[in-house]
Protein backbone atom coordinates (compact mmCIF):
# COMPACT_ATOMS: atom_id res chain seq x y z
CA UNK A 1 0.00 0.00 0.00
CA UNK A 2 1.26 3.49 -0.76
CA UNK A 3 2.47 5.94 1.88
CA UNK A 4 -0.66 8.00 1.20
CA UNK A 5 -2.81 4.92 1.80
CA UNK A 6 -1.09 4.23 5.11
CA UNK A 7 -1.59 7.87 6.08
CA UNK A 8 -5.29 7.64 5.31
CA UNK A 9 -5.57 4.38 7.23
CA UNK A 10 -3.88 5.99 10.25
CA UNK A 11 -6.13 9.03 10.01
CA UNK A 12 -9.21 6.80 9.79
CA UNK A 13 -8.07 4.81 12.82
CA UNK A 14 -7.47 8.03 14.76
CA UNK A 15 -10.92 9.29 13.75
CA UNK A 16 -12.47 6.07 15.07
CA UNK A 17 -10.59 6.53 18.34
CA UNK A 18 -11.80 10.11 18.60
CA UNK A 19 -15.41 9.10 17.93
CA UNK A 20 -15.16 6.34 20.52
CA UNK A 21 -13.86 8.86 23.07
CA UNK A 22 -16.56 11.36 22.14
CA UNK A 23 -19.36 8.83 22.50
CA UNK A 24 -17.90 7.48 25.77
CA UNK A 25 -18.47 10.93 27.26
CA UNK A 26 -22.23 10.45 26.80
CA UNK A 27 -22.87 6.91 28.12
CA UNK A 28 -26.42 7.56 29.31
CA UNK A 29 -27.43 9.62 26.28
CA UNK A 30 -26.33 7.52 23.32
CA UNK A 31 -26.89 9.55 20.18
CA UNK A 32 -27.98 12.62 22.13
CA UNK A 33 -24.86 14.72 21.67
CA UNK A 34 -24.94 18.46 22.02
CA UNK A 35 -26.16 19.97 18.74
CA UNK A 36 -23.13 22.25 18.75
CA UNK A 37 -20.81 19.33 18.06
CA UNK A 38 -23.00 17.73 15.37
CA UNK A 39 -21.33 19.56 12.44
CA UNK A 40 -17.90 18.49 13.70
CA UNK A 41 -18.99 14.87 14.05
CA UNK A 42 -20.54 14.99 10.57
CA UNK A 43 -17.31 16.38 9.09
CA UNK A 44 -15.25 13.76 10.87
CA UNK A 45 -17.50 11.00 9.55
CA UNK A 46 -17.22 12.43 6.02
CA UNK A 47 -13.41 12.36 6.17
CA UNK A 48 -13.47 8.88 7.71
CA UNK A 49 -15.77 7.53 4.99
CA UNK A 50 -13.67 9.10 2.21
CA UNK A 51 -10.43 7.68 3.63
CA UNK A 52 -11.88 4.21 4.13
CA UNK A 53 -13.41 4.22 0.64
CA UNK A 54 -10.03 5.16 -0.86
CA UNK A 55 -8.24 2.49 1.18
CA UNK A 56 -10.79 -0.14 0.12
CA UNK A 57 -10.23 0.84 -3.53
CA UNK A 58 -6.45 0.56 -3.09
CA UNK A 59 -6.82 -2.86 -1.47
CA UNK A 60 -9.07 -4.01 -4.33
CA UNK A 61 -6.42 -2.90 -6.83
CA UNK A 62 -3.71 -4.74 -4.90
CA UNK A 63 -5.86 -7.86 -4.66
CA UNK A 64 -6.66 -7.68 -8.38
CA UNK A 65 -2.98 -7.34 -9.24
CA UNK A 66 -2.01 -10.27 -7.05
CA UNK A 67 -4.21 -12.71 -8.95
What's the pLDDT tens digit per position in 10-26?
Answer: 888 888 888 877 777 66
Per domain, the residue ranges of the chain are 3-66
**What's the pTM?**
0.58
pLDDT at 30: 53
What's the pLDDT tens digit per position in 22-47?
Answer: 777 665 555 555 667 777 777 888 88
Distance of CA 9 to the CA centre of its chain: 8
What does the alpha-carbon distance between residue 51 and residue 8 come to, in Å, rounded to a whole number?
5
pLDDT at 65: 74
Burial annotation 9-48 (CB, 10 A radius, 16+ → b, else e): bebbeebeeeeeeeeeeeeeeeeeeeeeeeeeeeebeeeb
Amino acid sequence: MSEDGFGKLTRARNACDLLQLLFSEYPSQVGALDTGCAPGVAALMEYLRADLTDIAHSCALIEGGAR
